[in-house]
Amino acid sequence: MEAIFSHLTLNWSPMILLLLGVSAFAGGVMRGFTGFGGGLLMMPVYAVFMPPVDAVAIVAILNLIATIQMLPSVLHLVRWGRLLALGLPTVIFIPLGTMILTSVDPEAMRTVIAIIVIVMSLILLKGWKYHGKRGFFQDLAVGISGGILTGSVGMGGPPIILYLLSSTNHPKENRATFALMFGLSQLASLGSLFFHDMLTTQHVISTAWLFPIYFIATWIGVRCYVQVTGKREHLLRYASLVLLLVIGVGTLFI
């Protein structure tokens, strides 16, 4: 695998490094505020400047760190039954997604990533919700699709996010469940990459300079959530989704 550390330190311009850092900051704020969205925001940008395999690894490491950071504030609100029903099939099918990641042309994967972000942003902006049946088979289908997407494009959130946001759960419970579920799925994704000999020390080293940015941004996102809950939460969420849409469209045409 091509080592990306040299690209980050030697071959990339300061403007590209700034863009990666800003993307990490925006992704961290969104992750801390909503419990999801960090990968959705960062993956399209990172996949432009590095192979999708490397982007998946770096984003997974950052989001796993963010989950550990958020645990004290969300653990008591997690819907454990829903987490198990969706999380188990997600984790089981992540290796299948990893196999897809290694076999599909990187340019095609970048296009898929951009399209997923655009579609997800438009659906959430429109306020669409799932009103169909809920049960074992529906949970299984959502979990399987989430696992395949996590392994293949590093963004398993869309089906799970739409499914949970359409439920009767309290928004705080959804946010907590998102945070823990996506942390566990990122851990499984890293394990799958390691098993396929695609996770290297270079990824860890390359993530090190982004860690403080993402850590601080996640803290800011959590603080924003605490401060604006029930006030201007919908405005910040709307702004985040518009940003996602812009990034997705921009990535599609780069």
Secondary structure (3-state) at 24: helix
Residue-wise pLDDT for 13-26, tens only, equals 788 888 899 999 99
Neighbours of 132 (CB within 10 A): 7
Q: Quick check: 7 pLDDT over 70? A: no
Q: Quick check: 217 pLDDT over 90? A: yes
Q: What is the CA radius of gyration of the chain?
A: 17
Helices (H), the chain: 5-6, 14-34, 38-49, 52-74, 80-103, 106-126, 136-153, 157-165, 171-195, 201-208, 211-228, 233-252
Q: Report pLDDT for 212.
A: 93
Residue-wise pLDDT for 27-47, tens only, equals 899 888 888 778 888 888 888
Query: Which position has the higher pLDDT, 2 or 190?
Result: 190
Question: Among 88-92, 184-188, 194-198, 242-246, whose mean pLDDT is lowest?
Answer: 242-246
Of 120, 90, 95, nearest in space to 180 by CA: 90
Q: Report pLDDT for 90.
A: 93
- Cα(226)–Cα(220) distance, integer angstroms: 10
Range among 101-105, 129-133, 204-208, 213-217 rated most confident: 213-217
Q: Quick check: 79 pLDDT over 60? A: yes
Find all residues with CB under 8 Å of 169, minimum gap 6, and list them: 79, 82, 177
* One-letter amino acid of 227: Q
Q: Quick check: 67 pLDDT over 60? A: yes
Query: Which position has the higher pLDDT, 212 or 11?
Result: 212
Q: What percent of the chain has pLDDT over 70?
A: 92
**Quick one: average pLDDT of 63-71?**
87
Q: φ and ψ at 142, to 5 degrees?
A: -65, -45
Of 231, 195, 173, 80, nearest in space to 165 by CA: 173
Q: Quick check: 127 pLDDT over 70? A: yes
- Cα(212)–Cα(242) distance, integer angstroms: 26
Q: What percent of the chain has pLDDT over 90?
A: 19
Q: Report pLDDT for 216.
A: 94
| 210, 24 Cβ separation under 8 angstroms | yes
Residue-wise pLDDT for 150-178, tens only, equals 888 887 777 888 888 888 888 888 888 88
Find all residues with CB under 8 Å of 175, minimum gap 6, and list them: 34, 35, 74, 77, 225
